[in-house]
Structures are given as C-alpha cells and as structure tokens.
Amino acid sequence: MNSLDRREFLEMAALAGIGLVASETVAEARPAAKALDLTEKTVVELSAAMQKGELTSEAMTKWYLARIKAIDLKINSMIEVNPDAIAIARERDRDRPLKNFKGPLHGIPVVIKDNIDTADKMKTTAGSLALADAPTPAKDAFIVERLREAGAVLLGKTNLSEWANFRDNASISGWSGRGGQTRNPYILDRNPCGSSSGTGVAIAANLAAIGIGTETDGSIVCPASINGLVGLKPTVGLISRSGIIPIAASQDTAGPMTRTVSDAAVMLDVLDVADPGDPATTASGKRREHVSYVSYLLADGLRRTRIGVAREFWGRRTDVDAVIDAALESMKKAGAELIDIKFPNSRKFEDAEFTVLQYEFGYGLQKYLSGRGGKYRTLDDLIKFNSDNAAREMPHFKQTIFESSAKKGPLTDKEYLDAAETCRKYSREEGIDQVMNENKLDAIVAPSNAPTWMIDLINGDCGSGYVGSSSLAAVAGYPNITVPAGFARELPIGISFFGRAFSEGTLIKIAYSFEQATKARRMPKFLPTAA
C-alpha cells in the first residue's frame, strides 16, 4: 500500500475525528472542531452535504484514507491506495463552484477490485506477483472512464482472491500473492469469501463510500452477502468488461458493492452504458431503453409482486432457514405473493459450466495479456512464473485450474460448444425463463449464503458445507442482487433476488422495498474470533 507520511496522516486523523486507540473499533478523537463522521453515509447523503457546502470531497477523501490507515491492518482489504486521490478530490472541489458538477458521484470516493485497469500510478495485477511489474495499462477500463467522467474519486484498489479465484481448486478466498489474506470484518478469523473479497470487506468496514467488484459465479454475491452488503451482479452485457482481466466472456461482469440498495442504483445509472469495445453491451435486441435505476427505489416495491421461492435452497442449515423464513414473512407483509418453485434441471450444467470457464479463460486471458504487453503473455508463461516463484506464489495452494485450462483447445472445439449449449439450455430456457414464465413471476428469491467459514491455510475453502444460490443466474448471465437479511450469531446472512435478463430495475425495486422493511444491515465489530 502506498504510505502516507506521519504529518499528513495526523492531519487527516484530526480532521476525521479518528483516534488510534487499542480497541476493536475506531474511536473518535476530540479535535477543536466537531469530528467528522462518515460511517454508513450514503452517496445521496454525502452528495447533499457537499452541495450544501457542509463537506468537501477533499475532507471526505482524507477521512476515508485516515480510516484505511487506522483499521485496514486488521482486515487487509486494500491492496493499494491511490497516491493522487487527494489531488483528484481537490480538483472535484474546484469544479463544483464552476458549475462543472458531474452528478451524484461527483467527489465521491470509490474503491475498485485489482483486476480492473487504471492508466494511472496504481498497478493492475489480479493479485498476482507476475503482473506487479507489468506495463501500466494504456487506458482505463471503460467502467473506470465512466467513474471518472461522473466525478468519482478513485481512492484505491482492493485485494481479491488471486486471478479472481480461478487458479486452483483448493484456493483460499481473499488470498493473493501480492495482497496476502483479507479478513472478514465481523469476525477476523473468518473468511471474507471471494473473489471480490477486498471490495466487500472495505465497504463493509466503511473504508470508502462505494465499491466495484467483478463476478463470474458468486464473486460479487458471496462476498457482499457474507460481509453484510448489497451486491448487484448485472446481466452480462449491461456493463462493459473492456479493460477487466477476464475469466469467461459468457459469465463475466462488473457490478456495484454498496451498503444500501440506493447506492447500487446510483452506481448502475453511471455504469450502464454501451461500449463499442465490448460487443456484449451492443448486441442487437439485448439492451433495453435505459431508464434511471434510481426511479425504481420505491418503498412499496414489493406490493403486488409475484416472487418464486426456490425451495431447493432450504433445509440445509436451520440457522439460515430461520433468517430467510423471517425475511419471507416481511415480504408477505409488504404485499408480495410468494410461490414455491423448484429448478429440476439446476444440477445438469455443473460440469459443463467448469468446462466452459476453462476454455474461455485460456482464450480471454491470452487476448488480455497480449494487449497489455509485458513479459508474460500466455497462460503457460504464468504457470512457469508460479512454479519458479512457488515460495511466494504457491505457499498454500497450487495452480491446477491454470494447468487444466492451458490444455484446452480453441472455442471451436466440440467439447466447448456442447458445454456452452448445455449451460444455456438448463440455466435459461429450461431454467430461469421456464420457471418464471410458468409461474408468472417478477423475481425469484433464495438464501445467498450460510455463515462464513474459518480462514484455513491448510485445507483451503473447505467452507460450511452450504452451496449458495448464485450459479443459476451466473451461468445464465442474468441479474442477481443480494441484500442483508439478518445474522446467524455475529455473521451476516444475505437474501438473493434474481430474474430474467435485463430485469435490474424490477430487482432493485423489490430489493429496496425489502431493505426498507427490514433494515437488517449492521456495522461489523471486528471481533477477533467467535465467542
């Protein structure tokens, strides 16, 4: 992480009202002026405070940087802070009185996952030491361009499960060779899930206003739910993937990770723009006319909705069932009609999904590395680097997925084409689409996660024995949003709403109404271990 000198840090700590005290939370200091406290503030609240002249982007940015300095040693969520963040914030403050106001993200600090290109002083490495000295990307990822155009302040990059958790079958979520191990802020010896581990933890711990993660299958939904956040995995093709280190074009997408549904909607309004560099975002007939997602933030959004309850995800853990059953009761009280459903074909694409990912990973990664330049341009190059640097890159797990993916052929292979068709058929036509059409549903609901597992450097992600509900929407390329639903003791449990392609507005409406009815999120306590 780029360091701050002691004088500047003390200045920021005084401004922010942060005291470096021996406690599990950050205590307020007593500066001469009233202490600034931005914990749990929404984008709308922060933007309104700046509009009224009660807050500056510079003060806000310094507050978050001071908070990172004070508490990220506990959770290790940030892989790097932006050395230009304060300068950018000052520029945003200068823009405001000149009527160069850029919208609700103007001056708002945001963190992004370290697999998203930035053409600045920060690195883009996917957590791998192999890319630590690679050339700086020639241009920002398209979504980073959108954030800058919207006036956001890029505060830093977050740690992740190395290579977005696609290096080895025995990987440890939240660990990367470059960044080390990210920890869950609710209980520090627990796993943060991944692969967007750092973004989930940083936003949960109020180290930034908002964040961006990426998902292939569960990499937004799982760390968001396990860290008590809202996580929105959009339809593949809604948000550009240009300049994002890939796994699989058929499933990859970026998406917001926030503390509230309203913040996710604000971010999606900025990011939902067609990109000529990503054909999925311009495919004929796929995109719908853009309507502001903020307009879907309706407190009574559950009224008269028909929601399918995916019962196959019940009966696995009584603590999870209890939380989600209570959530269903809240939905009924808010006016939703609940219909029990099942997906008879949901197990038929499991092997096919992994086959598709391996083929698309090898192809997509080589294309990215060739465009990026540098010493390592193929998957075989990376495999050799990891082997040559095993003590640093493979102290806990190997690279079996890298090795199996490197053996796959071109995307014209019959094995790939058959697997891709299996995935489409059983996740879409005979999966989500069929069940929603037959039952006339607006959305489907399921538990997002079980209580997170211990960090285990020997066995890897042995998990809690609970399989989350992300795969159906992920394989289909359809949208999914998770919202805090409650707790199993001190660990967050999320609830997922997913549905048809490009139904983000409907899902936001339902999720926001549920959030307003339940208010289930609470701040982490940074407990060292379970009581």
Q: Can you spell out the DSSP letters for 2-49?
A: ----HHHHHHHHHHHTEE--SSSSPEE---SSPPP--TT--HHHHHHH
Residue 12 has pLDDT above 80, yes or no: no
Whether the per-residue pLDDT at 76 is higher than 60: the answer is yes
User: In this model, does residue 22 exceed pLDDT 90?
Assistant: no
Residue 213 pLDDT > 60, yes or no? Answer: yes
Question: What distance in Å separates the CA atoms of residue 484 and residue 499, rounded to the nearest whole number?
Answer: 18
CA distance readout (Å), 469 to 98, 224, 370, 488, 495: 48, 13, 35, 18, 9
101 vs 441: which has the higher pLDDT: 441
Give me the pLDDT at residue 5, please.
43
Q: For 170-209, list the strands marked E by DSSP.
A: 175-176, 180-181
- Taking every pair of Cα atoms in the chain, the longest distance, rounded to a whole number of angstroms, is 71
Backbone φ and ψ for 298, nearest 5 degrees, come out as -115, 125
Q: Are strands 18-19 and 27-28 parallel, antiparallel or unpaired?
A: antiparallel
192 located within any domain: yes
Average pLDDT across the chain, whole number: 92
Contact indicator for 78, 72 with CB cutoff of 8 Å: yes
CB of 212 closer than 8 Å to CB of 254: yes
Give the SS3 label for residue 519: coil
Average the pLDDT over each of 358-362, 401-405, 456-460, 483-487 and give the range with the smallest value. 456-460
Count up the domains in the chain and report the number. Answer: 1
Task: Kindly state whether residue 528 falls inside one of the protein's structural domains.
Answer: no
Looking at the predicted structure, is the pLDDT value of residue 468 above 70?
A: yes
Whole-number Å distance between alpha carbons of 439 and 443: 10
Phi, psi of 53 (to 5 degrees): 80, 15
The answer to the question of residue 257 being in a domain is yes
* Strand 306-310 relative to strand 337-341, pairing: parallel
DSSP 8-state class, residue 116? B
Say which of 41, 69, 113, 509 is annotated catalytic.
113
What confidence category does residue 6 fall into, taking pLDDT thresholds of 50, 70 and 90? very low
- Strand-pairing partners, residue 454, are 190
Please report how many Cα atoms fall inside a 13 Å half-sphere around the Cα of residue 452, on the Cβ side: 32
Predicted confidence at residue 23, as pLDDT, reads 33
Model confidence pLDDT, tens digit, residues 97-117: 877 889 999 999 999 999 999
The sign of the dihedral angle between the CA atoms of 191, 212, 42, 273 is negative
* 238-272 pLDDT, tens digit each: 999 999 999 999 999 999 999 999 999 999 999 99
Q: Is 113 assigned a catalytic role?
A: yes
Evaluate whether residue 525 is within a structural domain: no
Enumerate residues 6+ apart whose C-beta is below 8 A from 22.
none
For residue 159, give the CATH number of its domain.
Answer: 3.90.1300.10
The answer to the question of residue 529 being in a domain is no
Percent of the chain with pLDDT over 70: 92
Q: Which domain holds residue 310?
A: 6-518
pLDDT of residue 178: 98
- Residue 287 — very low, low, confident or very high, per pLDDT cuts 50/70/90? low
Higher pLDDT, 125 or 286: 125
Q: What SS3 state is found at 199? A: helix
Per-residue confidence band for 284, with pLDDT thresholds at 50, 70 and 90: low
Residue 487 carries which DSSP code? E
CA 428 to CA 297: how far, in whole Å? 27
DSSP β-ladder status, 337-341 and 180-181: unpaired
523 in a domain, yes or no?
Answer: no
pLDDT digits (tens, 9 = 90+) for 334-388: 999 999 999 999 999 999 999 999 999 999 999 999 999 999 999 999 999 999 9
Token pair listed for 149: 């155009």
Q: Which two tokens stand for residue 509?
A: 């409406």
Among 294, 299, 296, which Cα is nearest to 43's?
A: 294
Q: Does residue 531 lie in a domain region?
A: no
pLDDT of residue 32: 31
Is there a domain that residue 34 lies in?
yes
What mean pLDDT is predicted for residues 47-55? 95
Model confidence at 453: pLDDT above 50:
yes
Residue 247: what residue type?
I
- Region of residue 58 (phi > 0: left; psi between -120 and 50: alpha; otherwise: beta): alpha
For this structure, is 519 an active site residue? no
Q: Does position 4 have pLDDT exceeding 50, yes or no?
A: no
Of 195-209, 275-289, 399-413, 485-499, the least confident: 275-289
Single pTM value for the model? 0.94
Give pLDDT, residue 406.
98
Where helices occur in 373-503 by DSSP H, the ranges are 379-388, 390-393, 400-406, 414-424, 433-439, 471-476
Q: What is the pLDDT of residue 14?
A: 41
Q: Which of 57, 77, 197, 219 is catalytic?
A: 219
pLDDT at 55 over 70: yes
Helices marked H in 281-432: 318-333, 350-372, 379-388, 390-393, 400-406, 414-424
Q: Which of 171, 195, 405, 427 is catalytic?
A: 195
67 sits in which H/E element: helix 57-75
